[in-house]
Amino acid sequence: MERLQKVIAESGITSRRKAEELIIDGKVKVNGELVTELGTKVSEKDMIEVNGKVLEKEVKEYYLLNKPRGVISASSDDKGRRVVVDLIPTSVRLFPVGRLDYDTTGVLLLTNDGEFSNIMTHPKNQIDKVYLAKLEGIIKGDQINQLKNGVVIDGVKVSASRVKLKKTDLEKNTSMVEITIHEGKNHQVKKMFEAVGFKVLKLTRERVGIFTTLGLQSGEYRKLSPKEVAIVYSLKK
């Protein structure tokens, strides 16, 4: 069961705030009955009418994209730049689950299911987000422990659940580090490494929960299976 205004908004006909106004103004019916209370909850079986038109139920779709560099994690861009939804031909209104920076590559989920997105992104569900970072400089054990114990970025303390040094290149003065986090704050991984004195030269998200880019070249995508979607819903707390 979901709130009526949320269902209306997710259908794509209007925003949630406008949906609330429509309900209050007596423009919405559920199963033929006028509804004016914002707390009303509905199920998939209910017939919803908005301004006399039956609300069409949008089929839920789920995709896994191996995001390439130079593509924005958004549904649209006011500057006309390429966005991730451009890479997946479908008639439904997809949006990315979380985001990856313009120059970050790897696992990115896209869907039109708001609940699925919330499960995957909410910190309380403790879903692993695993990144491989190429750093300028040679990272030491002390800095790795700092990342595990927590660093302050944008006034908030965040920590990595796991940090593993994969390799170092003394000649090129670089380190490859695998880092696992549960949050998804803006530029979080880059800022965490900056907090311990390192610039990220290259960043790839290798895994989110059960999802990896195995078998997908950069820019390629696949649909999620019903089993994978069910696994995600089982993680809801």
Structure tokens at 221: 């995508």
Q: What residue type is 46 in one-letter code?
A: D
Cβ of 122: how many Cβ atoms within 10 Å? 16
Tokens of 10: 């997710």
| Pairwise CA distance, residues 139 & 135, whole Å | 8
Bridge partners (DSSP) of residue 64 are 109, 222
Tokens of 153: 């970025």
Active site residues: 101
Cα–Cα distance for residue pair 23/4, rounded to 1 Å: 9
DSSP assignment letter at 98:
S
Q: What angle do CA 107, 110, 116 make, to 5 degrees?
A: 105
CB atoms within 10 A of CB 72: 20
> Do the bridges between strand 105-111 and strand 62-67 make them parallel or antiparallel, or are there none, so unpaired?
antiparallel
